[in-house]
């Protein structure tokens, strides 16, 4: 049988309904249903009161009182107050039990003592005595009452500490969401933790995942984490405790714990790093193309065709070191198919392999890679020409700028080894992320440098690194240095 109780808050215009089974509902259960229906939370910051609709000043004070069905009551929320050291709030209506009002039972001994006191205090007073005698008699009665009270208090048990408001029973089950931050368990209070009596237990500090998105967290089972911590799984991924008390594995990942008690580790933001790396590469390629286009305009204007790559098919391209020549074509007089007898070494090697080692200019056979001749004179002339045009146009080669910046950075570190660098907040590279060469760069060319913290007074270097000459080129330069 379904019954109904109507209620309304004093600040509302419309009434609400509570359905229950039976002919009546207790005040405790009605307050519990009202808090749940209105989603008032845990009830720690307010107190809920119910009043009669006929007499709004008359409150339902006893939680065991039964309100008959089809009744109408008034509800009111008031701030929680502290009374005698206890907080009077509505939290017990959410997760507690009804409060039992204990009535003071007068025992026979207490009644006899009170009767004796009344007999002593109710002595007949002579109406003819003076006012001073009346005052004297009043003080005597007060002294007798205080002496009797002291006799009663001497037989009571002394309580030095106030009993705790919460239960101290070890079998009490914590509410949902509670976690023991000593061992990570959820089935006991921290004061009842089994490790409290273990003298060999090493306290471990488990960080919480506050502020970290769930997409960056990887869940680790508690059994696997415990086995790794005790090194029972036989793997090298052992969990240890660092100097701060945090749980850290061999890869440097810090173990954290979620609100549900699960062990997790923070994963690297690979997507952000890849996006940042792609932007850096695109910016480097754009700066390099803009610089080369301006240099190419100057070359065409000055008719310096020896600085152009003859193997570039569609567009004109600037020669890049190392620059080599074939043993059969070393002058302009024997040019046939090509407009220049100087080539970029990696490009020429690829062409020779594809054409069975035939010269791309005169089709001579047996032009092997080890017979190529390094043109160092043209390389130095090209560098001087680029430097001169850069000064005239007010631009700088990104490769040269990167080299100068790295050189100044290394010199600054040598002069001030203990100087602190400014943290500019750039993303860090994930540990296991493979390095991919940017588009347009040969496989042998090193990657651009990783983002680093720099001196604020130092200009930011361009995002491009110069190619490293092959080993045989370094060998060819040594005899020239000796001369």
Tell me the C-alpha distance between 178 and 170, whole Å: 15
**Residue 430 pLDDT:** 44
Indicate if 74 and 23 belong to the same structural domain.
Answer: yes
Here the tokens at position 193 are: 């933790």
Indicate if 244 and 217 belong to the same structural domain.
Answer: yes
Q: Is residue 279 part of a domain?
A: no
Indicate if 189 and 212 belong to the same structural domain.
Answer: no
Tell me the C-alpha distance between 292 and 285, whole Å: 10
Confidence of residue 426 (pLDDT cuts 50, 70, 90): very low
Here the tokens at position 404 are: 């100068």
Q: Which of 183, 201, 219 is the last residue of a domain?
A: 201
Q: Phi and psi (nearest 5°) for 113?
A: -65, -40
Indicate if 49 and 26 belong to the same structural domain.
Answer: yes
278: left (phi over 0), alpha (psi -120 to 50) or beta: alpha
Q: In terms of C-beta density within 10 A (0-12 exposed, 13-18 middle, 19 or more buried), how is residue 423 classed?
A: exposed
Where is mean pLDDT largest: 180-189, 301-310, 343-352?
343-352
Tell me the pLDDT tens digit for each residue of 280-335: 888 888 888 888 888 888 888 888 888 888 887 777 888 888 888 888 888 888 78
Q: Is residue 325 part of a domain?
A: no
Nearest to 320 by CA among 353, 356, 296: 296
DSSP class of residue 351 equals: H
Distance (Å) of CA 215 to CA 27, 44, 161, 269, 337: 46, 33, 49, 9, 59
> pTM value?
0.35
Tell me the pLDDT tens digit for each residue of 127-177: 678 888 888 888 988 899 999 888 888 888 777 665 554 544 656 788 877
DSSP class of residue 199 equals: T
Domain hosting 70: range is 2-95
**Residue 420 pLDDT:** 44
Question: Average pLDDT in the 330-342 region?
Answer: 81
Question: Average pLDDT in the 459-479 region?
Answer: 46
Are 103 and 48 within 8 A, CB to CB? Answer: no
Are 53 and 72 within 8 A, CB to CB? Answer: yes
CATH assignment of the domain containing 55: 3.10.20.90
The set of residues, in sequence order, having a beta carbon less than 8 Å from that of 362 and lying 6+ positions away, is: 328, 329, 334, 336, 337
Tell me the C-alpha distance between 25 and 427, whole Å: 61
Tell me the pLDDT tens digit for each residue of 35-77: 999 988 888 888 899 999 888 889 998 888 899 989 999 999 9
In a 3-state reduction of DSSP, which class is residue 390? helix
Q: Is residue 483 part of a domain?
A: no
Q: Phi and psi (nearest 5°) for 149?
A: -65, -40
Q: Is residue 387 part of a domain?
A: no
The set of residues, in sequence order, having a beta carbon less than 8 Å from that of 273 and lying 6+ positions away, is: 427, 428, 429, 430, 433
| Strand 24-26 to 66-68 pairing | antiparallel
Q: Which of 51, 78, 95 is the last residue of a domain?
A: 95
Question: Average pLDDT in the 257-274 region?
Answer: 77
Indicate if 184 and 243 belong to the same structural domain.
Answer: no
Q: Is residue 26 part of a domain?
A: yes
Indicate if 77 and 51 belong to the same structural domain.
Answer: yes
Nearest to 399 by CA among 288, 318, 251, 264: 288
Q: What is the number of structural domains in the chain?
A: 3
Q: Which of 153, 185, 201 is the last residue of a domain?
A: 201
Question: Average pLDDT in the 236-243 region?
Answer: 65
Indicate if 197 and 216 belong to the same structural domain.
Answer: no
Is the bond leading into 322 cis (omega within 30 degrees of zero)?
Answer: yes
Mean pLDDT of the chain: 74
In a 3-state reduction of DSSP, which class is residue 386? helix
Here the tokens at position 386 are: 């680029």
Q: Is residue 47 part of a domain?
A: yes
């Amino acid at each position: 049988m379904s019954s109904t109780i109507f209620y309304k808050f004093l600040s509302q215009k419309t009434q609400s309904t509570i359905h229950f089974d039976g002919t009546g509902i207790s005040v405790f259960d009605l307050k519990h249903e009202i808090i749940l229906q209105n989603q008032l939370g845990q009830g720690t910051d307010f107190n809920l009161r119910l009043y009669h609709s006929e007499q709004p000043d008359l409150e339902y004070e006893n939680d065991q009182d039964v309100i008959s069905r089809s009744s109408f009551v008034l509800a009111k929320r008031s701030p929680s107050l502290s009374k005698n050291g206890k907080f009077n709030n509505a939290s017990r209506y959410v997760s507690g039990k009804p409060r039992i009002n204990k009535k003071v039972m007068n025992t026979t001994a207490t009644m006899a003592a009170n009767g004796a006191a009344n007999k002593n205090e109710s002595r007949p007073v002579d109406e003819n005595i003076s006012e001073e005698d009346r005052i004297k008699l009043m003080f005597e009665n007060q002294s007798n009452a205080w002496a009797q009270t002291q006799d009663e208090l001497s037989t009571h048990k002394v309580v030095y500490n106030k009993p705790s408001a919460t239960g101290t029973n070890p079998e009490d089950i914590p509410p949902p969401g509670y976690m023991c931050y000593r061992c990570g368990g959820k089935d006991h209070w921290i004061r009842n933790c089994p490790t409290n009596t273990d003298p060999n237990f090493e306290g471990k500090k488990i960080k919480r995942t506050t502020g970290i998105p769930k997409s960056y967290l990887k869940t680790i089972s508690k059994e696997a984490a415990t086995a790794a911590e005790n090194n029972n799984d036989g793997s090298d991924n052992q969990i240890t405790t660092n100097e701060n008390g945090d749980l850290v594995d061999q890869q440097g990942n810090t173990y954290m714990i979620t609100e549900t008690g699960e062990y997790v580790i923070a994963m690297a933001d690979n997507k952000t790093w890849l996006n940042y790396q792609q932007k850096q590469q695109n910016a480097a390629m754009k700066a390099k193309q803009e610089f080369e286009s301006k240099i190419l305009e100057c070359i065409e204007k000055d008719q310096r065709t020896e600085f152009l790559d003859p193997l570039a098919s569609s567009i004109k391209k600037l020669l890049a070191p190392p620059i080599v020549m074939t043993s059969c074509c070393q002058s302009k007089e024997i040019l046939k198919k090509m407009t220049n007898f100087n080539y970029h070494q990696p490009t020429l090697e690829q062409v020779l392999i594809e054409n069975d080692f035939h010269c791309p200019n005169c089709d001579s056979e047996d032009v092997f890679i080890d017979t190529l001749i390094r043109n160092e004179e043209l390389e130095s002339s090209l560098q001087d020409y680029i430097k001169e045009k850069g000064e005239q146009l007010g631009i700088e080669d990104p490769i040269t700028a990167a080299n100068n910046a790295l050189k100044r950075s290394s010199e600054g570190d040598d002069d001030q080894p203990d100087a602190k660098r400014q943290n500019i907040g750039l993303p860090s590279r994930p540990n296991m992320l493979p390095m991919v060469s940017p588009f347009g760069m040969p496989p042998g060319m090193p990657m651009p440098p990783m983002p680093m913290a720099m001196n604020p007074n130092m200009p930011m270097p361009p995002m491009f690194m110069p190619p490293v000459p092959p080993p045989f080129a370094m060998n060819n330069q040594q005899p020239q240095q000796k001369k």
